[in-house]
Amino acid sequence: MKKPVNRPYVVNSVSELHRYFSLPKPDHPLVSVINLKDIKTRADESVKSIVFNFYSIWLEQDVQGKLRYGQNYFDFDEGLMIFISPGQVISRASHTYKSSGWGLVFHPDFLKHYSLATSIKGYGYFSYAVNEALFLSGKEQAMVISLMQNISKEYRSTIDNFSQDVIVSQIELLLNYSNRFYNRQFITRKSASNDLLTKMEILLSDYFEKGNPQELGLPTVQYLSGQLNVSSSYLSDMLRSLTGQNMQQHIHHCLIEKAKELLTLGNLTVAEIAFRLGFEHPQSFSKIFKRKTTLSPVEFKRSLN
């Protein structure tokens, strides 16, 4: 028997995903709709967790077992949707995990030159910070499946100059319906729907993704307000009214979430993560991480095993 693989198994492309699940070669290299019933060969049981370097949306039904996404476990036996961004980690709590349903996977390159390439980052349900599972009614499940099947029909038919436009539009429609479902389910949850807040979230995400902290340090209120062409006080008041956090708290929250992501991947030391996030001294990073999570980075990393 193979020993469990501690580091996540990385899948870089849609074709690799098909090979991983022993599925036929995909009809399109950048997008695919998968019926989970077609997965006859289950994943290698030596793999404890997996990372997709592309977007994936899963409608899980009739689930047996627990699935871990980010820092949360989902335990359910009815229709539920899971949204995974490139680089996020998912894992099974046990090797008895099984489900039926549908999945839509698409590479970020498929969205190039479309506004959705940027706006998709504003959909909060793709975030590690999501704590609520999105449960769907029977009618909502049927709608999601219909949209996924329409995407499948489009890329399986004759490709023309409009095929990609149609598929991207269908993906965006699916995301917008998912937004509606979230707001329906969590009606009391304050949604960061303000355009300015959405732009700020994208700006913060890009700042960390592009490694700016290494050269420029942590983002400041002045930097963010300058990029958004508003005053610092206006931005701070807006954020506090929508989230209850001040700017410093929100920046630290984003920092900690990015740190958790890097610690979960497991291929960087705490010192390397500290420098990547803009800290001159690892001790400073460890101090703020423990203050926010009650665990040191090393203790957090150990808790994942």
Return the domain boundaries, the chain. 9-185, 195-303
Lowest mean pLDDT among 127-131, 189-193, 293-297, 299-303: 189-193
Task: Give the residue from 22, 10, 118 showing the smallest Cα distance to 54.
Answer: 10
**Position with higher pLDDT, 153 vs 280:** 153
Mean pLDDT of all residues belonging to the chain: 80
Categorize the per-residue pLDDT at 69 as very low, low, confident or very high, splitting at 50, 70 and 90. low
CA distances in angstroms from 167 to 111, 126, 152, 223, listed in the order given: 10, 20, 9, 37
Domain 195-303 has CATH 3.30.830.10: no
- For residue 271, give every residue at least 6 positions away whose Cβ sits within 8 Å of its Cβ, in sequence order, or none: 282
pLDDT of residue 43: 53
Which tokens hold the place of 130?
A: 């999501």
Between 144 and 305, the higher pLDDT residue: 144
Confirm whether 9-185 and 195-303 share one CATH topology.
no
Task: State the DSSP code for 196.
Answer: H
| pLDDT above 90 for 54 | yes
d(CA 103, CA 91) in angstroms, rounded, equals 16
Q: pLDDT tier at 131 (50, 70, 90 boundaries)?
A: very low
Question: Which numeric CATH code is attached to 9-185?
Answer: 2.60.120.280
> Residue 21 pLDDT > 80, yes or no?
yes
Q: Give percent above pLDDT 90 in the chain.
A: 29
Q: Please give the Cα distance from 19 to 76 (Å, whole number).
A: 27
* Mean pLDDT, range 18-45, rounded to an integer: 86
